[in-house]
Amino acid sequence: MKKNLIVSVAIFLKDIEDHGFKVWTQVREEEGALYGKWEFPGGKIETGESPEDACRREVHEEVGIMLPSAEKLVLFKYQDYMAPNKNICLYVFISNFKNLPAAKGQWLDISYNEKSTPYEGKIPPINHVIIDELAVYIKKQHAAGLVNLLWQP
C-alpha cells in the first residue's frame, strides 16, 4: 500500500523580466531517488500545522532563515502526484523574498520559452510540471503589469 504525504514547498522568485525569471533551489542531500537533484525547500506538513506554517518551518529548517512574518507566501497551486512508493499532495507557495544564503542554494534561470527544459535530469520530474505552469502564469502576470500585486497584503 502506498503512503500518503501532504507537503508544502516554497518557490522563491526574483528578476521577473520580459524574457523570464529566476527560481531558487537547493541540492537534496537526503539519500534516495532524488539525491543530488535541485529542488525547492519544503517538506511534510505536521499534524495541526497549516500548509503555510509548514512551508515557513521547512524554509527555516532547510535554508536556515526565518521568513519575516510580513513576508507574503502566495499559494500558487495544489498538486497531486504519485511517486513510485507514495501519493503526494503538494502545496506550492511562491514568494519574492530574495535574501537567501548563497551557500545553501542557487538561482536557476527560467525562460518563458524553454521553461524547465534546460534542467532535465537535474530537478525532480514534478518540478518540471510546476515550473512550466509557473512560467506561463508569471509571463501573463508580468505582461499585464500585475506581478507586483501578488506580493501586496
Given a contact cutoff of 8 angstroms between Cβ atoms, the answer to whether 17 and 26 are in contact is no
Residue 14 is placed in which grid cell? 526574483
Average pLDDT, the chain: 93
Residue 1 DSSP code:
-
pTM: 0.93
DSSP-based three-state secondary structure for 41:
coil
Q: Which CATH number fits domain 3-151: 3.30.56.10, 3.90.79.10, 2.60.120.380, 3.40.50.720?
A: 3.90.79.10
End-to-end CA distance of the chain: 42
Which pLDDT score is estimated for 132?
A: 98
Beta bridge partners, 25, equal: 106
- Amino acid 35: pLDDT: 77
Q: Residue for cell digits 514568494?
A: 95
pLDDT digits (tens, 9 = 90+) for 1-60: 789 999 999 999 999 999 999 999 999 877 777 777 899 999 999 999 999 999 999 999
Per-residue burial over 77-106, b = 16 or more CB atoms within 10 Å of its CB, e = otherwise: eebeeeeeeeebebbbbbbbbeebeeeebe
28: cell is 537534496
